[in-house]
Chain A
């Protein structure tokens, strides 16, 4: 363990991180946001999932610093009388959870398919990549809308509310695997030609072993690079779906559904219901994207010199 820590401290990764203020800032913000959201049940002033604690009388209270605001509800309340701050913390937790989950699913699917397509080649490759092409030619959102509409119809709205989180993960995960599939396939094709793979074949190692032990680890850096961007994308997709009413239900609001629920009242003066979750969502996505840019620069072999 100590050895790995020392190797990490001597690595180029750590070196360039320390020297990049943008990377440090975005990483710190991301960590703070993540800690806040995952400790929501303990630090949030109100439990938004507990319907008994919500009072409709408190609905549409403005933030605390405004005249009608109450010090109980720092960022005001939404249309149902939920505390905005608590709802946002819980919502962000859901958003991050769905984002990460969807990306894991995308990565597993995409890496597996890309690896097989690249290594086996020939007809298998052509078939898998055409599937990816077809899927990429629909927008992610469209695929997601179709699938979630079907699910809502099939399970009914009540059941859907319970299953919403895993369902969204599956939907977004299925919609975006080609990104991984193509990236991995491209780097597999590059690695496959290298002499160490030929050496492994001359030794007579089994094909699956060469695929998973030799080629796969060497194709992972581009996967890491797109993963950060994909997490941001997945969070955005989830928000967009929820905003359209196809994502998280109102009883379990994510950032997207919060924005949606406030959107109707934005012109009646309750701007905070939309604005605060909106700002939080943008911050989260921007921070992840900035970090992704940095990772891409660091892992780019062309820039990786000395």
Chain B
């Protein structure tokens, strides 16, 4: 019960011209102190919406229509905007795919960093500067003193993402939510940023929610994996278990579809079709039109997350619930 962050039955809806659609549905998971969790799914799975909903950053036409986000015992979803601001960017920081979403192009890095500190902490300007410098060192930016006076456009993509991480660290947050932090970067730089993130989580005792579509990245950095499909969690478990022994047909298909899991030159195994759009979700399990193990019940009832071998392994699949497939 004493989790750092606990999400209970979270539901986010969007009001569209054609009516309301549910972007994420019945999402529940938890995060302990210093734990690293990966939120994996393809585009449209609702992983980013979940990330934004945790810090109540859902903008119109979307809104949180149900569920709770308990952070240190308080329900963020029910807090006022003022109170949320105290948590967002302070106790929980967020890193986006595009560093320029965080960075202001017309202010120097130093100004942006000290302003953030002064907004959240009661310190002098000199102290704020010292903190900024310290954090820049932590993210391994060469010659940080010089860099404080530079502007975002003077940095390369990888360096910018490092600065964003440094800004996220300024208030010593308990949780960092990283939304596709390396998708726009080259592999060599992605590897460096990911190394940095895991290093920081360990040294600063931070918890990390890593939102990404890349199973490879997640498997290198995280302790647990949560797989989302069409707005719902379909599988959850320890990273090494999920990667080596995926249970849900979707996770299985996803891993098998990676080129590296096939012999060279052979056809890749593929999941037929595409993820349904929010506006025409199929009845029952949303994966059933693409599933090999589809049974009559799948077309009628939404499967619930059930425990399999241990408390950590949860799967939402009728075929597995009955013990029909493994």
| Chains A and B in contact, CB within 8 Å | yes
- List residues 1-57 of chain A with CB under 8 A from any CB of chain B: 12, 15
When C-beta atoms are compared, the residue in chain B nearest to A19 turns out to be B17
The reply to whether the CB of B16 lies closer than 8 angstroms to some CB of chain A is yes
Mask of B3-40 contacts with A, CB within 8 angstroms, 1/0:
00000000000101100000000000000000000000
The reply to whether the CB of A123 lies closer than 8 angstroms to some CB of chain B is no
The reply to whether the CB of A306 lies closer than 8 angstroms to some CB of chain B is yes
Q: Give the chain A neighbours of B14 by CB distance below 8 A.
A: 306
How many A-B residue pairs lie within 8 Å, measured between CB atoms?
6
Within the complex, the shortest CB–CB distance from A8 to chain B, in Å, comes to 15
Number of interface residues of A (CB under 8 A): 3
> Cα distance A257–B321 when bound, in Å?
85
When C-beta atoms are compared, the residue in chain B nearest to A305 turns out to be B61
> Cα distance A12–B17 when bound, in Å?
9
Mask of B54-82 contacts with A, CB within 8 angstroms, 1/0:
00000001000000000000000000000
Number of interface residues of B (CB under 8 A): 4
Q: Give the chain A neighbours of B17 by CB distance below 8 A.
A: 12, 15, 306
When C-beta atoms are compared, the residue in chain B nearest to A306 turns out to be B16
Q: Give the chain B neighbours of A12 by CB distance below 8 A.
A: 17
Mask of A273-306 contacts with B, CB within 8 angstroms, 1/0:
0000000000000000000000000000000001
> Cα distance A15–B18 when bound, in Å?
11
When C-beta atoms are compared, the residue in chain A nearest to B278 turns out to be A306
Q: Give the chain B neighbours of A15 by CB distance below 8 A.
A: 17
> Cα distance A52–B17 when bound, in Å?
60
Q: Give the chain B neighbours of A306 by CB distance below 8 A.
A: 14, 16-17, 61
> Cα distance A306–B61 when bound, in Å?
10
When C-beta atoms are compared, the residue in chain B nearest to A15 turns out to be B17
> Cα distance A15–B16 when bound, in Å?
12
- List residues 224-275 of chain A with CB under 8 A from any CB of chain B: none
Q: Which of B14, B16, B17, B61 has the most CB of A within 10 A?
A: B17
Within the complex, the shortest CB–CB distance from B29 to chain A, in Å, comes to 28
> Cα distance A15–B14 when bound, in Å?
18
Within the complex, the shortest CB–CB distance from A289 to chain B, in Å, comes to 27
Within the complex, the shortest CB–CB distance from B18 to chain A, in Å, comes to 9
Within the complex, the shortest CB–CB distance from B241 to chain A, in Å, comes to 38
> Cα distance A32–B61 when bound, in Å?
36
Within the complex, the shortest CB–CB distance from A42 to chain B, in Å, comes to 42
> Cα distance A306–B20 when bound, in Å?
12
> Cα distance A283–B16 when bound, in Å?
35
When C-beta atoms are compared, the residue in chain B nearest to A12 turns out to be B17
When C-beta atoms are compared, the residue in chain A nearest to B17 turns out to be A15
Q: Give the chain A neighbours of B16 by CB distance below 8 A.
A: 306
> Cα distance A93–B61 when bound, in Å?
44
Q: Give the chain A neighbours of B61 by CB distance below 8 A.
A: 306
When C-beta atoms are compared, the residue in chain A nearest to B14 turns out to be A306
Within the complex, the shortest CB–CB distance from A6 to chain B, in Å, comes to 16
Within the complex, the shortest CB–CB distance from B63 to chain A, in Å, comes to 15
> Cα distance A293–B134 when bound, in Å?
51
When C-beta atoms are compared, the residue in chain A nearest to B16 turns out to be A306
Within the complex, the shortest CB–CB distance from A10 to chain B, in Å, comes to 10
> Cα distance A306–B14 when bound, in Å?
11
> Cα distance A180–B14 when bound, in Å?
39
> Cα distance A15–B17 when bound, in Å?
9
When C-beta atoms are compared, the residue in chain A nearest to B279 turns out to be A306
Within the complex, the shortest CB–CB distance from B62 to chain A, in Å, comes to 11
Within the complex, the shortest CB–CB distance from A78 to chain B, in Å, comes to 51
> Cα distance A148–B212 when bound, in Å?
66
> Cα distance A48–B130 when bound, in Å?
84
> Cα distance A306–B17 when bound, in Å?
8
> Cα distance A228–B211 when bound, in Å?
46
Within the complex, the shortest CB–CB distance from A9 to chain B, in Å, comes to 13
Within the complex, the shortest CB–CB distance from B302 to chain A, in Å, comes to 25
Within the complex, the shortest CB–CB distance from A15 to chain B, in Å, comes to 6
> Cα distance A114–B17 when bound, in Å?
36
Within the complex, the shortest CB–CB distance from B195 to chain A, in Å, comes to 35
> Cα distance A178–B180 when bound, in Å?
44
Sample of 5 A–B contacts (CB below 8 Å): A12-B17, A15-B17, A306-B16, A306-B17, A306-B61
Which positions in B face A, CB cutoff 8 Å? 14, 16-17, 61
Which positions in A face B, CB cutoff 8 Å? 12, 15, 306
